[in-house]
Structure 1
Amino acid sequence: MSPKLDRIGSVHLTMRQVARATQNFSPSMKLGEGGFGTVYKAQLQDGQMVAIKRASKENFDSLRSEFRSEIELLAKIEHRNLVKLLGYVDKGNERLIITEYVPNGTLREHLDGIHGNYLDFSQRLEISIDIAHGLTYLHSYAGNARFCSAFGKCSNGEAMDLVDPQMREDVDEKIFKKMLNLSFQCAAPTRADRPEMQAVGEQLWAIRMKYLQLGREE
């Protein structure tokens, strides 16, 4: 059963409930295909309609280690142009994502005029802008969320926990923190706050010289 998510109205389902809601993953409930797998429409016992993405078997092994962390990240995302994550199932050989159900059909269907009306240029432009806003938010939030965890360790005095354990040599903490601070600058959300690559190269050269100097002093 999906663990509790920090979102009001989260959906918690067992595989038996999922099978019932999707009519045992009936083709008649299929909404589409994606890189993740197949998306199904599902009706819950209370009448609520949701969309359930079922991981394809060929993606199962690659998702094993990343699935839970990705879900925890998606659970925190809120944007009007992105469907909300409502819950998930991670049990046995099943990986399912439960999201809001959008009843108006896919963008492809509207572009093809399947619903009777073709989108004019103005509508297509507005949709393009909305998609760009959603993707910008998603990329920025996802990057910052992962980045803030390497930053949290540094600010909490745990920077050395980030050193690759496969390196058998002792790494000087001051030198390593300089490397981290430079990486934080390079990962700044806005371009204006990121240093030019020439400056990055100069700082790395200075860090290297300091590292070599410390080696000679030992």
Structure 2
Amino acid sequence: MTRTPTALALGLAAAGSLILGSAATATAAPAPVLPAAGSTTVTPAGHAFKAQLTGKATLKAGSVTVTCSVSVATGTVPAAPGNHNPAGAVSSPISAPTYSSCTSSMPGVTPTVTTSGAWTVAMQNGSPSTGTMTVPTGGLVVRTSGLATCTVVAAPTAPAPVTATWANGAPPTLTFVNASVPVKVTGGFGCPTSATASVFNAVYQVSDTTDPAQQITVAP
């Protein structure tokens, strides 16, 4: 038997296999049965929120790491009953996150991060709960100037989901740990043009901007 796995981007793996053998003996293994997604409720319904970076966000492509110390995104919890899904995630649009105060691991190189397009976040209750941010096609671009002129485009051919861990609290947090996103890198000397994926790390604190005394909460 020869098995050829194919890893898809963002750590969301799908695999296919080619099974070789005689017609009499070759048997394909049954596809695994995935558990159904659980119920999710995001509260307070209809409240606006802001996700603000705490610490630093890093985006690493090949040997080059871009570090940003300021990042913000905003959105709104869907109004009831849209803030509840009995069998899956609750999704809502968010603003394209902004990134500023960025530096590069390459000496003499200055990065600029721009974002655009329709971004979304889908909250799923679980153990742990998760928040999946979808980057629209070409929705994040890193350009460098100085000793190396490079362009890194995230989600270059299709929208890309990037999953974080959600923790309820005061404030709640959304934590991305080594989250992978597909990229296309172009440029000259010093640019990591062979890189096809970037690793993203960041922690965001989420606040309720409609009523700062309340907390955005993900529950069953």
TM-score category (smaller protein): under 0.3
Structure having the higher helix fraction is 1
* Rg larger in structure: 1
Which of structures 1 and 2 has the larger relative contact order (alpha carbons within 8 angstroms, sep 6+)?
2
Q: What is the TM-score when the length of structure 1 is the normalising length?
A: 0.19
Is the strand fraction higher in 1 or 2?
A: 2
TM-score calculated relative to the size of structure 2: 0.19
